[in-house]
Chain A
Amino acid sequence: MARGRDLVTTEVVSNYLVAVADEMKRTVVRTAMSPVIYEVLDFSTGVFDRRGRLVAQTAGLAIFLGTLDWAVQAVLKKFGDDLHPGDVILTNDPYEGGGTHLNDVSVVAPVFDAGRLRGFVASRAHWMDIGGQVPLSVMTNATEIHQEGLLLPVVKAYERGRPNRQLIDTLTANIRQPETWKGDFGAQLAACHVGRRRLAELLARYGPEVVEDCIDATLDATERLTRERLEAMPDGRYRGVDFLDSDTVTGSPVRVEVAIEKSGADVTLDFTGSAPATKSSYNLTYCGLVSGCRVLLRAITDPHGPTNDGCFRPLTVKAPPGTVVNATKPSPVAMYGEVARRAIDAAWRALSEVIPQGLPAGHFGTICGQCMAGWDDRLAPSRYTSFSAPNGGGWGATPDRDGESALVCVSNGDTRNTPVEIIEARNPLMVTRYELRTDSGGPGKYRGGLGTTLEFLVETGGQYAATFAAGRAERAAFGLHGGRDGVTNRVTVTRDGKTIAGLGRSTAFLLEKGDLVTVESGGGGGWGDPRERDPRAIAEDVRLGYVSPEAAAGDYEWGTGP
C-alpha cells in the first residue's frame, strides 16, 4: 500500500486518468453525427491498465461501463503479443468479446511506452445501425443472433496506424446510412487518439512503473472502501425474483431469480433458477449480467466515489449457461437491456429487505425506447430518416420522500432525451404532447414518481416503421413496505379512431400517415401505507394534477372523509 508522499502522486495520477476519460467523452460529443450519441449520450469511455483492468471512467452509460473491461480483455486474449502502436480493435461480440448487443461497438486502442504495452483506452457507442433484418438493427423477435446484424469478433480496424480497408468497406456495405456511421466511428477514433496521446504523456512523465504503482494503489483503495461498506451490511442469504413480460414465443412470463449471499466483505449473486434462454431477442450474456450486478453494487456501496476495477473485486456472479441471463451463441440479444434490468430488479428486491433505508421502491425499469425509421415522402426526392431514443419514467418513492418523475432507467445514467424540436426538424413526425402521466405513480405514504407521455403524429406516407422496447408492460414497478405498485409502460397506435394496444415489443411495426403513436412510460412504486400519507400532500398532488381527484379518492380515500 502506498504511503506518505506516494499517496500524493497516486492522487495526482488517478485524477489525471479520470481527466483522460473525461476528455475522450467530450471529444465524442463534439464530433459525433448521430443524435443518439451527441444528444442522448448513448456511449461511454474508459482507461485501462495493461492487464485490461478498468482504471478510470466517465459518468455515462452505467451498463456499458461495467462491460468495457471485458472488451479490453477479449482484445488481450485474442491478440496477446500481436498488439502494436497504432492498432485499433473493434468488438461487439456478446458471447466472447465483452459485447452487450450488436449495436454497441467497443473501439479499443492499446497504449505503448518505449515499445511496451502499458494500457488501453476504449469507448463504446451505440451505432445507429449494424445491418440485420430491420433498420436501426433493434428488434425484439429475432430467433438467432445472425438476424440482428453484423457480429464483429474482436477485429482490427487499424493495424499499426493503417486502416483495414477490407473491414471498413464491409462495414460500409452492410450498415444503413453509412455516412452517419463514418462520422460516429470517426468520433470514437478521435477519442481513442486523444486518450492514447494523454496516457502516453502520463507514462512518459512519471515512468510506467510509478504509474502502475499508482494504479495499483488506487484500485486497492477503492476495493477497501467497497469492502468496508459491504461489511457494514448484515450477513445472510437473500432471495429475489422478478419476471420479464411474457415471452412472445411461449406466452409465459420469464423468471429471473437470484440468491444473494453476503458474507463479511464479499457478495455473491447466484442466478440459478432463472428461466432458460428465450427464443426471442430477450436474452442477456454473462458479461452484461455482471455489468448489471456492478451497477447495483456501486449504488449500494459508494455511488459517488471513483469507479474502477477495485470496486468489483468483492463481487462474484454465478449463472448457469443457457439461461436467459447467461445466454450462449446463437441466442439473440438485441433486448439484453430489459433482461439486465430484470436481473437488477430481482437483486434490488432481495436487498431491499436487508438495507431498507438503502434502496428506493422499484422504478419503471425499462428503456421505454422508440426506434423510428423510414422514408420521408414530404421531401422530393423522399429521404431516409431515422430516430432512436429512450424515455424517462417514474422512480420509486424513498423512506422520506416521493419518487422522482421522468428520469432515465437504472442502467442508463447520463443519457438524455432527444429534444422535441430536434425530432421534428429531422423526422416526418409531429409531437403532439410531451407531458407527465397523471396517476402513474404508485400510491404510498410516499408516492412513486410519474412517467411521461410522448405522442407523435406520423406525417409521411412513405414506408415508415417503428420498433418499441417498453418492458414492464405486464408487471409494474414494485412498491415497498406497504406502498403500492406504479403503473405499467404502454405503447399504442391510434389509427382511424381505433386503438392498437400492446405494441411495447413490436418490431418494425408499419406506420401510416395520420397514425398517432403514444408512448407512455410507467410510474415508480410507492413507499409505505397510502393511508399514512399526509392529507396536505394528497391535496397538493390533486391541485398540481399529479394525481386526479378520482384516483385520490380511490387510492387515498381523499375527499370521502368528514
Chain B
Amino acid sequence: MAQCRIGLDTGGTFTDLVLWDEAAGLRLVKVPSTPHRPDDAIVEAYQRLDRDGRDLTFFGHGTTVGLNALIERKGARVGLITTKGFRDVLEIARFNRPDMYNLFYLKPRPLVRRDMRLEVDERVRADGSVARALDPEEFCSAVKTLLDLGAESLAVSFLNAYANPVHEEFAAGLLRREFPGVVFALSTGHAGEWREYERTSTAVLNAYLAPRLRDYVGRLSSRLESAGVLCDLLVMRCDGGLYGARAAVDNPVSMLFSGPAAAVLGAARLGEEAGRRNLITVDIGGTSCDVSLVAGGDIPFVPLKHVDGYPVQQQVVDVHSIGAGGGTIAWVDSAGMLKVGPASAGADPGPACYGHGGTRPTVTDAYLLLGWIDPDRFLGGEFRLYPDLAAQVFEPLASGLGLDLYQAAHGVIRILEAAMAAAVRVVSVDRGHDPRDFSLMAFGGAGPLHAAALARELGAREAIVPQHPAHLAALGILLADVRRTYAQTLVRPWNREALTEVRGLIRRMSREARRALRSQGFSGPSVRLAASIEMRYAGQEHTLQVGVPSSLGEESLDRVARRFRRLHLRQYSFALEDEPCEVVAVRLDASGLVERPTLGRSDEALGDDGSPPAPRTERKVCFVPEDGFRTCSAYDRASLLAGARVQGPAIIEEPASNTVLPPGFTAVVGPGGHLFISTDKNRR
C-alpha cells in the first residue's frame, strides 16, 4: 500500500500540517491556532486537504494543550499523598531566591493547596529497605478524604521511592482496585530519580494535566475519526519519540515540550539526509529563539527542565530558549542604554507594522525598515504590513539615541543577534563543542533572516536554511520514530560486579522494549536499541551519559571508564585520572523505526539547465548601516532550481519566511533543495 502520512504541530500562533503522500509528494497547510479548542484548528487543517483519509497510515501530532492548561492554571484539582512529615515539600520547594536582590520575591505557587496534601505513615529508607510498611486502610482513607474534598485526580509521592517504588506500586494497586476510574500519577511512574521536590512536582503536574489531556485526546480522536481518519493517533513527546495517544496521556508532562523537540528532530533528520550530522539548530519564532546542538546525528537530552517555574523530571530534548524573536520589543532604559527584549508584542497586538495597534518598536518593524521583508508579500501576501507605522514607532527610539532610523533598526538587530549567538554558545562551546565543526541550521518564521549573520558570528562551517523552514516541527513529527525509553537508578562503583548488574539490567530492559514495540508492529531490523549509562566521578553529582554496547563484555570495564574520562575532559577541561568513577543510572532507548519518506525535493523532477537563476525583482535593502541602502535582487525560492547559486547581497523569499544574504555570502540550492550558505571567511 502506498504510504500516506500526516505530521501536525499545534503552535501558539499557527497550526501546521504536513501531508506526505508517496504518490503525490508533500503538501503543507497553515491555519491560525484556536487555543481554547485546539482540535478545531486541527480538524480545519485536515479538512483543507480535502481528501479521503482511508489510506492514511500515520497521524502524528504535537500539542501545546498541556502547556496552555498549566500557564492558564486550568488543570485539575489535585490531591497529593506523601510520606508522613513531608507534605510541605511541594511548598518549601528549594527555598532559593534566584532573583537575589528582590526582597519581594515569591516562589511559584504550589499547584496543590495545603489542605489537599495528606500524609500517610509509611517509610522507605535511602537504601530501599522498608522502615515502616504502608497501611492500606490509612492510604484508602486518605484517598477518600481527598475525593470528598473534591480532588479530580491524585498524585502519590513517597520519600526515597526512587530507591524502591514498592509503596507507590502498592498504592497504585489499591487505587485501581478500590477506586476504579480515579486518575492518578506516581512520582516513580515515569521519572524515578532522586530529589523529592522535583519528583513530587513532576507527579503533581502529571495529575494536574491528565484529566484535561484525556478529554482532549478523546475528543480529538473521535472528531478525526468522524472526519475519516482511521489510523491511530500518535502523540509527540519531549524525548522526540511518538507514542500511542492513550499511552501518552498517562504521562502528560512528557508532552509539554513536544513542539521544540519535534523541530530539533526534523532538523536532525533533514541534516542527515543532506550528509550533515553536526548541526546547531536555531528556531526563531515570534517570541523565542530555541537553540540546540546535534553532534554526530545524536539528539541531545537533559533529565530535568522547568516549565513556568515548576521542575519536571523527564528526558527532554535539550533546547535552550531565550526571549528573542520577531515580536521582541526594543527599548531604552532610564540610563539611556538600548535594550532588546525579553518582552514581546506577542500575537496581539503584534509588531506595530501589523497595524493592530502595536505602539512599541519590535524586531519585525526593524526587518521592514531595513527592507528585509516585503510589506506586500508577508505570509504569501495574505497579511499586509505597514512600513510607515514601523517608522513611526522607531522614530522616538532613534532620535533619543542620536541615531537615524536605519542605524537604530540595525542596532536592534545586532543586539538581538548577539543574544542569539550567546544562546548558541551555551549549547556549543560551553559544552566542549567547537562551532567550526558544525553547520548552523536556521528555521522558524524568523530564523532564515539571521542564518548567514549567525553562522559568521559563530564561525560555523556554513548556514543551512532547510526546505519549508516554517513547518519544521510538523516535518519532524512526520519523520519521528516510535519510541520507548527505560531508566533505572543504580548507584555503584564502576567495577566488575557493577558491570554484571548493568548487563543484566540492559538485558531485562531490552526484552521489555522488544515486547512493547512488537505490540505496535515493530520487530527485527525495524527495532533499534541504544544502551547507555550515566557516570560520574565518585562524589560528583552531575553525570555524563556514556554509550555502551548492549553485550557489555569484560573488556568494556576499562573501555567505558576511558570513554567517560575523555568525555569529561572535553566537556569540562579536566579529567581526574586516578579518581574512581561510578555508574548512577542505566538507560535504554528503544525505537521502532518508521519507514521514512525522503522529503528533499527531487532534483531530477525540477531539472537544472545550468542557467543563472532569475530574480523576481530588485529592491533596496540595508545590510550594514555604513553601506546604506543598496539595490539587490529578490528571488522567489520556489523558482530556484537544484544547483542554483545566488550571490549576496540578495533576499530569497518564500511564503512564510525570508532568507537574508548579506554581501559576501553565497547560497547554493543543494541536496534536498535546502539552501547552503557559505560564510566568507575574509569578511567580518
Contact = CB atoms under 8 A, between A and B. Distances in A.
A425 interface: yes
B419 interface: yes
A5 B426 CA distance: 27
Nearest to A220: B335
Contacts of A41: 96
A259 interface: no
Contact of B93 (A62, A180, A406, A431): A406
A413 B92 contact: no
Nearest to B417: A12
A105 interface: no
A1 B401 CA distance: 12
Contacts of B411: 5, 7-8
B337 A26 contact: no
A61 B102 CA distance: 13
A239 interface: no
B194 A404 contact: no
A430 interface: yes
Given A4-B407, A225-B334, A29 B425 contact: no
A212 B566 CA distance: 37
Interface stretch (B80-88, B500-508, B636-644): B80-88
What is the predominant secondary structure among interface residues of chain B facing chain A? Answer: loop
Contacts of A359: 103
A207 interface: no
A3 B402 CA distance: 7
Interface in B537-593: 537, 539-542, 571-574, 576, 579
B383 interface: no
A424 B125 contact: yes
A553 interface: no
A62 B100 contact: yes
A32 B540 contact: yes
B489 to A, nearest CB: 10
B540 A12 contact: no
B506 to A, nearest CB: 24
Interface hub of A11, A16, A193, A545 (most chain B Cβ within 10 A):
A11
Interface string A380-406: 000000000001100100100000111
A179 interface: yes
Interface in B149-175: 159-160, 162-163
A430 B539 CA distance: 20
B98 interface: yes
Interface stretch (B105-113, B241-249, B462-470, B603-611): B105-113
Interface residues of B, number: 73
Given A7-B411, A421-B126, A421-B194, A360 B102 contact: no
Contacts of A26: 426, 430
Contact of A435 (B87, B94, B402): B87
B215 interface: no
A74 to B, nearest CB: 24
B540 A15 contact: no
A190 interface: yes
A318 interface: no
A410 interface: yes
A44 to B, nearest CB: 10
B98 A398 contact: no
B339 interface: yes
A1 B89 CA distance: 50
B414 interface: yes
Nearest to A398: B104
Interface hub of B102, B114, B335 (most chain A Cβ within 10 A):
B335
A404 B338 contact: no
Interface in A238-290: none
Interface in B321-336: 333-336
Contacts of B573: 190, 193-194
Contact of A430 (B125, B162, B197, B541): B125
A499 interface: no
Contacts of A186: 574, 576
A299 B101 contact: yes
A546 interface: yes
B418 interface: yes
B393 to A, nearest CB: 18
B91 A420 contact: no
A203 interface: no
B335 to A, nearest CB: 4
A360 B541 CA distance: 36
B195 A419 contact: yes
B97 interface: yes
Contacts of A30: 542, 571-572
B380 interface: no
B101 A421 contact: no
Contacts of A183: 537, 539-540, 576, 579
Nearest to A3: B402
A27 B429 CA distance: 11
B415 interface: yes
A31 B338 contact: no
B195 A23 contact: no
A391 to B, nearest CB: 8
Contact of B162 (A225, A228, A421): A421
Contacts of B86: 420, 433-435
A432 B537 CA distance: 30
Contacts of B218: none
Given A7-B401, A183-B539, A224-B335, A424 B126 contact: yes
Contacts of B574: 31, 186, 189-190
Contacts of B430: 23, 26-27, 194
28 contacts: A3-B402, A11-B339, A11-B418, A12-B414, A12-B418, A19-B426, A27-B430, A31-B572, A31-B574, A41-B96, A182-B576, A190-B572, A190-B574, A404-B107, A405-B91, A405-B92, A406-B91, A410-B103, A413-B96, A413-B97, A414-B98, A422-B195, A424-B125, A425-B491, A432-B85, A435-B87, A435-B88, A543-B115
Given A4-B401, A182-B576, A413-B96, 20 more contacts: A4-B402, A5-B411, A5-B625, A11-B340, A12-B415, A15-B419, A33-B539, A180-B539, A224-B334, A298-B101, A299-B101, A360-B103, A405-B92, A406-B91, A407-B96, A419-B195, A433-B84, A433-B86, A436-B114, A546-B114
The 9 A-B pairs with the shortest beta carbon distances in the complex, nearest first, are A413-B100, A392-B95, A433-B85, A8-B411, A303-B101, A221-B335, A424-B126, A416-B94, A298-B101
Interface of A: 1, 3-5, 7-8, 10-12, 15-16, 19, 22-23, 26-27, 29-35, 38-39, 41, 59-62, 179-180, 182-183, 186, 189-190, 193-194, 218, 221-222, 224-225, 228, 295, 298-299, 303-305, 307, 359-360, 391-392, 395, 398, 404-408, 410, 412-417, 419-422, 424-425, 430-436, 452, 455, 543-546
Interface of B: 84-89, 91-107, 113-115, 125-126, 131, 159-160, 162-163, 194-198, 333-340, 401-403, 407, 410-411, 414-415, 418-419, 422, 425-426, 430, 491, 537, 539-542, 571-574, 576, 579, 625
